[in-house]
Amino acid sequence: MYRKVDVPFELYEILILEADDEQLAKISEELGLALNVDEMKRIKDYFRQKGRNPYDIELQSIAQAWSEHCCYKSSKYYLRQYLLDASKADYVISAIEEDAGVVEFDEEYAYVTAFESHNHPSAIEPYGGAATGIGGILRDVLCMGAQPVALIDPLFFGNLDTPYERLPKGTKHPLYLLKGVVAGIRDYSNRVGIPTVAGMVFFDDSYLTNCLVNVGCVGIVRKDKIIHSRAGGVGDLFVLAGGKTGRDGIHGVTFASAELDEKSEEEARGAVQLGNPIMKEPLIHACLEVVEKGLLTGMKDLGGGGLSCVIGEMALAAGYGAEVYLDKVPLKEEGMAPWEIWISESQERMMLTVRPEHIDEVLYIFQKWDVPATVVGKVIPEKITRIYYKGYKIYEMDTEFVTAGPEYCRPYIAKKPEKELHEEVRPPEDYVKVFLKMLSHPNVAFKEWIVRQYDHEVRASTILKPLQGRVNFETHGDAAVIKPTKSFRGLAITADVNPWMCKVDPYWGSASSFDEMVRNLVAVNSIPHSFNDCLNFGNPEKPERMGEFVEAVKAIGWMAKGTKIPCVSGNVSFYNETPYGSVAPTPSLLGVGLVEDIRKVITSDFKGSGAVVLVGETEKEFGGSLYSVIMQQRCHIVPKTSPERLKAYSDVMLESFRKFEVKTCHDVSMGGVAICIAEMSFGRGIGFEAVRELSFIELFSESNTRWVVEVPETHAESYVQFFREKGLKAEIIGYSGGDKLNFKTFSVELDEADRMWRKGLTRFL
């Protein structure tokens, strides 16, 4: 099935023209292509029309471009149907089509956002996998000509108390993965000098054999300096800048497009890339300098598929093709085969297109920053990619054929929640015991151990930090706020999803996650402006898994269109599954809000001597709640929401911030009102006294579209009346002050609750 070509380097002809289906499947498996038989037959038909067999480099190139990771073959049909319409808004400059979304910030500037997964590499090698995830997301923002200003990292692991004897073969313990991933993010982001300001950490058994590492980045760019991910025109030169190319990261995208199993670590370790933040930092500076001087026609990062994807995509996006001189690529090691050079995903590399008259100046700037830069090809008029290596032509294919990829409308089964069991949710016998257990659950507990490892203040533009309150005794904030320019305008940033709710009901769980994203942005006094999604699911070839994905996309699209908050960029990560099961549906959302005046942001910590007002409507909705997990009670009624209700409450909340003195605001999410108030109390050691006995539903329900607000006592009645006059619900539920959390139903010393909360995560570490 393979024939060595008579050239002075390693090149094989793959004999697919005479291969039957069984042999095609064997070729795909042996070459690590991760292509099914139908896809191999489509390739076979293409080369039959060409009258020849493909070379190994050509077949490998198609496999990269047709991987799930690169061409979204299982998801784009449903994304188009339910979500892409939600990417439109007057202030959106570029959405979905490029490496990152570009959105208007003010008259002069735009902000740039990107959000991706690095799940499989992190499960195999947590430190390197997470670090290169950060490196890749920085490049996605950089390639739009933007200066990265903030990083975001939602992380998902198995339960930390998992006994080692319960670990399936080939699986690393969640504690090891957590430490490795956090260290990888810490070392890369801190060294490159970009603050990590937001994120989340979630623990659930479904992530035991397949952790999830999602990474996001926000950047800022002058509108007149935005660069696009396409070549300028015929004759443009392709310049490869940054790190050298090696054997690390080979088959990265095909590895990410298949399930993990116990052999994955041994067989796929070479697919994990090696990051180098010391190279990335000057690479960012050099790229931004050539952008500032107007010397580029296009720029794109080398991510999934390496050179094999970036060159064809840049050329075809401009309506052209490319000619490549592969032996010009700087290598880390000798003896690499051409196909290895072509598909390697070695890190810290950018591809630039430059007019010939500017090439000397561009190369000089990279030399000045001590960053390698080499001309490796040029743009040609035909829509063909042609590669030469040591004087031999080793690759010639229609660029459209390679980059188009297959598209599937996969069958799906929408999950129907089980019988609604109201009667199984009952009040606790010991309120204090349950409350303290909720506070110490790792999904609620203080995340200081993680947050403190990240430099969230580098660049000196973090106005509202992830931890808020008195020094060394802070509490969690709802969103971080960045000041990216000289003006007092700011960007609020949050990351949200509730996998427990999505597991019970993918539709309403995803809608609830969108609701929480908006609540967090509103809580700090920002206008929800745009969002990105990172959709993490199991094997799409299984109808039940595909059903989870479709329901999530439907819900997010419905909420986005109804609230008029555009989805400007995103990522789909499938095959997060092993023989032991699939991850919970995890549609992570990265929300960005506009802060009109950073001097008027609102924090989450009680200031004291204020009235505490609950805004919103509480129902008996416990599906996927922390209370149901702690009490081991089954409930399938996931909190409902609607874009109309969410928008109505959000608009009035923001109006109330302008009209009233609001001291504190915190959204009601995991654990309900009781946990929300506790977190508000912990920030300054200020307790809470309820005005009446609160029922267990009022205390622990996780109904959507709710906030707890602290206002001066003298304004409390008029604040509540302000909402009621607009047909919305608000109620004074207590007052801030004292050294207890007294809900009337039960009372606990603030110090005791604070201690349980602060050691909830560190007791495992």
What pLDDT band is residue 248 in, cutting at 50, 70 and 90?
Answer: confident
Least confident of 138-152, 250-264, 681-695: 250-264
Angstrom distance (rounded) from CA 131 to CA 196: 13
Residues 625 and 444: their CA atoms lie apart, in Å, by 12
Q: Active site residue: 69, 441, 456, 529, which one?
A: 69
Q: How far apart are CA 754 and CA 765, in angstroms?
A: 18
User: Which pLDDT score, from 0 to 100, does residue 29 have?
Assistant: 94
pLDDT band at 265; cut points 50, 70, 90: low
Confidence of residue 129 (pLDDT cuts 50, 70, 90): very high
Mind listing the pLDDT tens digit for each residue in 37-85? 999 999 999 999 999 999 999 999 999 999 998 999 999 999 999 999 9
pLDDT of residue 421: 47
pLDDT of residue 258: 61
CA-to-CA separations, 570 to 339, 652, 671, in angstroms, rounded: 29, 29, 29
| Eight-state DSSP code of residue 474 | -
pLDDT by residue (tens digit) across 692-713? 999 999 999 999 999 999 999 9
Tell me what pLDDT residue 233 has: 96
Across the chain, what does the average pLDDT equal?
Answer: 95
Provide mean pLDDT across the span 587-593: 98
Other CB atoms within a 10 A radius of the CB of residue 386 amount to 17
List beta partners, residue 101. 113
Q: What's the confidence (pLDDT) of residue 546?
A: 98
What pLDDT was estimated at residue 267? 54
Check: CB of residue 87 under 8 Å from CB of residue 559. Answer: no
In contact, 500 and 624? CB cutoff 8 Å = yes
DSSP for 364-418, please give it. HHHHHTT--EEEEEEEESSSEEEEEETTEEEEEEEHHHHHH---------PPPP-
Confidence of residue 572 (pLDDT cuts 50, 70, 90): very high
pLDDT in tens, 293-311: 999 999 999 988 899 999 9
The residue extents of the domains of the chain are 2-68
Q: Report the share of the chain in percent with pLDDT over 70.
A: 96
Check residue 348 and give left, alpha or beta (phi > 0: left; psi -120 to 50: alpha). left
pLDDT in tens, 362-417: 999 999 999 999 999 999 999 999 999 999 999 999 999 999 889 999 999 998 76
Instruction: Return the pLDDT at 263.
Output: 63
Task: Count how many Cα atoms sit within 13 Å of the Cα of residue 279 in the half-sphere of its side chain.
Answer: 18
For residue 651, what pLDDT is reported? 98
Span of 113-122, 243-252, 368-377 with lowest mean pLDDT: 243-252
pLDDT reported for residue 415: 80
118 is catalytic: yes
At 255, is the pLDDT very low, low, confident or very high (cuts 50, 70, 90)? low
Question: DSSP 3-state assignment of 206?
Answer: helix
Report the CATH number of the 2-68 domain. 1.10.8.750
Residue 264 clears pLDDT 80, i.e. is over it: no
Q: What is the pLDDT of residue 305?
A: 87
- Looking at residue 140, its pLDDT comes to 96
Q: What is the largest distance, in Å, between two alpha-carbon atoms of the chain?
A: 89
Told to judge if 285 belongs to the known catalytic residues of this protein, a careful annotator would answer no
* 0.75 exceeded by pTM: yes
- 187, 446 in Cβ contact below 8 A? no
Over residues 252-278, mean pLDDT: 65
476-526 pLDDT tens trace: 999 999 999 999 999 999 999 999 999 999 999 999 999 999 999 999 999
How big is the chain, counted in residues?
A: 765
CA 298 to mean position of chain CA atoms: 25
Checking if the pLDDT of 568 tops 80, the result is: yes
> What's the average model confidence in pLDDT over 459-471?
96
**According to the model, what pLDDT value does residue 271 have?**
58
Q: What's the alpha-carbon Rg for the chain, to the nearest Å?
A: 26
Residue the block writes with tokens 């339910």: 82
636 has a pLDDT exceeding 90: no
d(CA 687, CA 20): 74
- The per-residue pLDDT for 253 is 58
> How far apart are the C-alpha atoms of 201 and 207, rounded to whole Å?
12
Position 272 pLDDT exceeds 80? no
Q: Are strands 92-94 and 101-104 parallel, antiparallel or unpaired?
A: antiparallel
